[in-house]
Amino acid sequence: MLDNKATQLISNHKVLLEYWANLYFQIHVLGSPSSTIEAKKRDLNLFINFFQASLGSEIIDLWTPSITKAFQGYL
C-alpha cells in the first residue's frame, strides 16, 4: 500500500501533460508496430516540448484549443 507521501506525489503528477502523455502511450500505443511506436513517441515529445516552451509549464489545465492550433502551425 502506498503511504501518504507516495500518494501525494502521484496526485501531483496528474496535473502534468507528461503524465497524461505517458498514460496515453501505455494504453493506446504500446503493442503497435515499432514504426508507429517511434512516430507517436516523436510526436508526443514534440508536443510536450512545444507546450512547455510556449507556456513555461506542463500543467495540463493550461491546454487550450489555441495551443493545439499553434502546434499544428508549428509543424
| Cα–Cα dist 27/70, whole Å | 26
Contacts of 24 (CB under 8 A, 6+ apart): 44
21 burial via Cβ count (<10 Å: 0-12, 13-18, 19+): buried
Span 22-39, average pLDDT: 94
For the chain, the domain total comes to 1
Q: What is the model's pLDDT at position 70?
A: 97
pTM: 0.78
pLDDT band at 1 (very low <50, low <70, confident <90, very high): very low
pLDDT band at 6 (very low <50, low <70, confident <90, very high): very low
Please give the mean pLDDT across all residues of the chain: 87
Are 58 and 51 in contact, with CB atoms under 8 Å apart? yes
Q: Which domain holds residue 12?
A: 4-74
| The three three-digit cell numbers of residue 65, written as one number | 484549443
Beta strands in the chain (DSSP E): none
pLDDT of residue 2 exceeding 50, the answer is no
